[in-house]
Amino acid sequence: MKILVTENIAQEGIAFLKAQNMDVTVNYSLTREELLSSISEYDALIVRSVTKVNEELYAHATNLKVVGRAGNGVDNIELAGATERGIIVVNTPDANTVSAAEHTIALMLSMSRNIPRANQHIKSKQWDRTLFRGVELKGKTLGIIGLGRIGTMVATRMQSFGMDVIAYDPYIRSDKFEKLGVEKMEQLSDLLGKSDFISVHTPKTKETIGIINADSFKLVKKGVRVVNCARGGIIDEAALYDALTQGIVAGAAIDVLKDEPHPISPLLDLESTVITPHLGADTFEAQKNVGESVAIEVFEALKGKLVANAVNLPTLSQQELEHMKPYLTLLERMGKIYHQIHHDAVERIVFTYKGDFTHRNTDPFVLAFIKGLYETVLDTPVTYVNAKLIAENRGVTIAESRVSTTEDFNNSVKIEIHSKNQTFEMEGALFGKKEPRIVSINSYPVDMTPKGNMLMIENNDSPGMIGTIGLLLGQNNINISTMNVSLSKTLKPALMLLTVDCPVPDDVLSQIQNQKGILKAWTLKM
Ligand code: NAD
C-alpha cells in the first residue's frame, strides 16, 4: 500500500511503516498542484496542521482510504467529506499529555525559584544571591482549573511535592476527585480564594476564554502565582498584567499567549513572568510518540482494524451512513444543548426510543449524543470511536429502552440527563424528509429545528414578553428566524425558543436577562 507523508513526523513513524512493507513517500516540499496531481496514487496521507485536506483534495484522491493527522486538532481536515467517501481520519490526542504536564511543572518551579532571572544574572558574571529568594511548593495549595488529562497528571505529580491540590471542573463527577485525593471546588471563586498557585488546564472555549479575568484577581490571595500552559487567552493578559504590577499576583508562568506567534504581550516586559514560546508539547518523546502513534493508527486503519483514535465514523457503509445521517444529526445536536445550559457532571443518561427509532441499531445514536455532549467541554475531538470511552471514564451510565407505541410522533427519542442535583429531559423527532426537531424540553412542548444560533428563555407568562425580546433583538440588529413560545402544563414560567440569524453577543444576553419578567436566558450554538 502507498502512503504519502507531506509534513514532518518523527523518523520512528516512517521506520515503522517501512518495516510493515508499506511503500512510503516522504515529501515535505510538495506544491499544492503537485499534491493534487499525485494524490490519486496513494492509499493513505499523513499530515500535520498545514496540508489542507478538503473537497479539492478529495476530488483527486480516488484511492485514499486513510488520513493521519500527527497531533491533536483536525482543523485542516474536512471531516464530513472524508466520512462521505469512507475515508478514515485518525489523530494522536494523547501523545503529548506527559510533556505538557511536565512543562507546567517546570514553569511552576522556575517561577517559584526565579530560575530564568538567576540564570541570566550569573551568566552576566554577577553574584548577588539576595535578589532571587524563592518560595517552596510544599504545604502550598495548588488550584487546578480543568481536571482532564493534563490537569490530572499535574495534580498527582504535585501531590508528591507535598502540595494540597484543589480543583474546579464542573463536568467531572465527585468520585474522580475523591479517588485522586483532590478537593472539589463547587465554584471557581472558592478555588481563587484558596490557592497559592493556580494552573489552568481547560480547552479554549467560549466559556473558558478569560475565565481568569480582572474580577477573578479581586478574589485571589495576595501573592498568588499563576500558570497557563493550556491556551493563550484563557487568562486575560491585560488583567494579569495589572494584577502583577499591582502586586496582587506575585508571579506568572506562561507557555501560551493570546497573539502567538507574535511576541507582543506586555507580560513579556515584566520581571515577575516566566514565559516560553509554546513549548508544552515540544519534547523528543512527544514528537516520537506523535510520529509513532500516527504511523500505527494509519497502518491499522489500512488493515481494516478498529482504530482507537479515529475521528469520523467510517465503520458504517456509505449507504448505511446516508440512511443514519438524519438520526445522528438529531442526536448530536440534542447532545450539544445540555452543557450550554447546565455546567455540571452528568451521571446517567436514559434514552427512550419510540416508533421508527426502535427498529434501528441504536448504538450510533448513543455515540452521537455523547459526542455532542462533550464536544463543547473537552480539548480532544470527541468522536464516534472514543465517545463511549469518554463517557465511561467520566463515570456516566447509559440506559436504553424501546417503546413501540407513540403518542404524538411517528418516531422520537426521549433523553433524560441526570446529574447530582437535577434531571434535564428533552425529546427529539424526525419530521417530513427526516428534518431534525426538538419537540419537548423539560415537559414544555416545543417545535424547533436545532440549527445555527439559538436563544432559550424562561420568562413569566405575562403580556408583552414576546414584544420585549423582539424589540431588544431588533435594537441590536439581530434578526429572528423562528420563535416558539410554550407553556408547561405543570410549571409556571413560559419557555421561549428562538433561532436567530447571527450569534447573540454576551452583552445582549445580559440585557435580555435583566428585562423584567425574564427569569433565565441562554444562547445555544449548534
Ligand atoms: P482534556 O480535554 O483532557 O481536559 C480538559 C478538561 O477541562 C476537561 O476535564 C473538562 O471537563 C474541563 N473543562 C472544560 N470547560 C471547563 C470550565 N469552564 N471550567 C473548568 N473545567 C472545564 O484536555 P487536556 O488534554 O488535558 O488539555 C488541556 C489544555 O492543555 C488544552 O487547552 C490543550 O489545548 C492544552 N495543551 C497545551 C499544550 C502546550 O503545548 N502548551 C500541549 C497539549 C495540550
Q: What tens digit of pLDDT does each residue of 253-271 get?
A: 999 999 998 889 999 999 9
pLDDT of residue 136: 98
DSSP string, 72-110: S--TTB-HHHHHHTT-EEEE-TTTTHHHHHHHHHHHHHH
> Residue 80 — pLDDT band, cuts 50, 70, 90?
confident
> What is the reported pTM?
0.83
Pocket test for ligand 1, best of 169, 185, 186, 227 (most atoms within 8 A of CB): 169
Q: Is 210 exposed, middle or buried (0-12, 13-18, 19+ CB in 10 A)?
A: middle
Is 208's C-beta closer than 6 angstroms to any atom of ligand 1? yes
> Rounded to the nearest whole angstrom, what is the distance from the C-alpha of residue 203 to the centroid of ligand 1?
4
Task: State the CATH class of domain 316-442.
Answer: alpha beta
> Rounded to the nearest whole angstrom, what is the distance from the C-alpha of residue 330 to the centroid of ligand 1?
27
pLDDT of residue 313: 63
pLDDT at 492 over 80: no
C-alpha cell at position 182: 483532590
End-to-end CA distance of the chain: give it in Å, rounded: 39
455, 465 contact by CB (below 8 A): no
Is 169's C-beta closer than 6 angstroms to any atom of ligand 1? yes
Is 143's C-beta closer than 6 angstroms to any atom of ligand 1? no
pLDDT at 229 over 60: yes
Residue ranges in 376-412 assigned as alpha helix (H): 387-393
pLDDT of residue 214: 98
Using CA atoms, how far apart are residues 204 and 393, in angstroms rounded to an integer? 21
Determine the atom of ligand 1 nearest the C-alpha atom of 172: 11
> Rounded to the nearest whole angstrom, what is the distance from the C-alpha of residue 199 to the centroid of ligand 1?
11
227: amino acid identity, one letter = V
Query: Which amino acid residue places its CA nearest to atom 39 of ligand 1?
Result: 280
Is 184's C-beta closer than 6 angstroms to any atom of ligand 1? no
Is 146's C-beta closer than 6 angstroms to any atom of ligand 1? yes
> Rounded to the nearest whole angstrom, what is the distance from the C-alpha of residue 201 to the centroid of ligand 1?
4
Phi then psi dihedrals of residue 408, to 5 deg: -105, -20
> Rounded to the nearest whole angstrom, what is the distance from the C-alpha of residue 229 to the centroid of ligand 1?
10
pLDDT, tens digit (0-9, with 9 covering 90-100), for 332-359 = 999 999 999 999 999 999 999 998 888 8
Q: What is the mean pLDDT of residues 460-468?
A: 91
pLDDT of residue 45: 98
Q: Quote the strand ranges of 181-229, DSSP E.
A: 183-184, 197-200, 224-228
User: H or E element: which one contains 479?
Assistant: none
Tell me which CATH code domain 2-95+285-302 carries. Answer: 3.40.50.720
Using CA atoms, how far apart are residues 13 and 290, in angstroms rounded to an integer? 8
pLDDT of residue 357: 85
Using CA atoms, how far apart are residues 446 and 497, in angstroms rounded to an integer? 8
pLDDT at 308 over 80: no
C-alpha cell at position 441: 424540553
Is 379's C-beta closer than 6 angstroms to any atom of ligand 1? yes
Determine the atom of ligand 1 nearest the C-alpha atom of 151: 26
- Region of poorest pLDDT, from 64-78, 129-143, 507-521: 64-78
pLDDT, tens digit (0-9, with 9 covering 90-100), for 101-119 = 999 999 999 999 999 999 9
Is 236's C-beta closer than 6 angstroms to any atom of ligand 1? no
40, 60 contact by CB (below 8 A): yes
pLDDT of residue 318: 56
Q: At what angle do helices 318-341 and 363-375 cross, to 10 degrees?
A: 40
Q: What is the mean pLDDT of residues 118-124?
A: 97
Q: What is the mean pLDDT of residues 493-504?
A: 94
Query: Which amino acid residue places its CA nearest to atom 38 of ligand 1?
Result: 280
Is 255's C-beta closer than 6 angstroms to any atom of ligand 1? yes
Share of the chain above pLDDT 70, in %: 97
Count of alpha carbons within 13 Å of 134, Cβ hemisphere only?
A: 14
384, 374 contact by CB (below 8 A): no
pLDDT of residue 407: 67
Q: Which residues are identified as catalytic? A: 231, 260, 278
**Closest C-alpha among 521, 345, 347, 350 to residue 425:** 350
pLDDT at 94 over 90: no
Identical fold for domains 2-95+285-302 and 97-275, yes or no, is yes
pLDDT of residue 304: 75
CATH entry 3.40.50.720 includes domain 97-275: yes
Q: Where are the domains of the chain?
A: 2-95+285-302, 97-275, 316-442, 452-526
Task: State the CATH class of domain 452-526.
Answer: alpha beta
pLDDT of residue 432: 82
Using CA atoms, how far apart are residues 410 and 220, in angstroms rounded to an integer? 55
User: The cell 444562547 sits on which residue?
Assistant: 523
C-alpha cell at position 384: 464516534
pLDDT of residue 422: 94
pLDDT at 305 over 90: no
- Region of poorest pLDDT, from 162-171, 243-252, 282-291, 309-318: 309-318
Determine the atom of ligand 1 nearest the C-alpha atom of 378: 2
C-alpha cell at position 35: 499534491
**Closest C-alpha among 254, 208, 256, 210 to residue 236:** 210
Share of the chain above pLDDT 90, in %: 79
Using CA atoms, how far apart are residues 67 and 3, in angstroms rounded to an integer? 10
Is 201's C-beta closer than 6 angstroms to any atom of ligand 1? yes
201: amino acid identity, one letter = H
pLDDT of residue 386: 74
State whether the Cα torsion 447-449-450-451 is positive or negative: negative
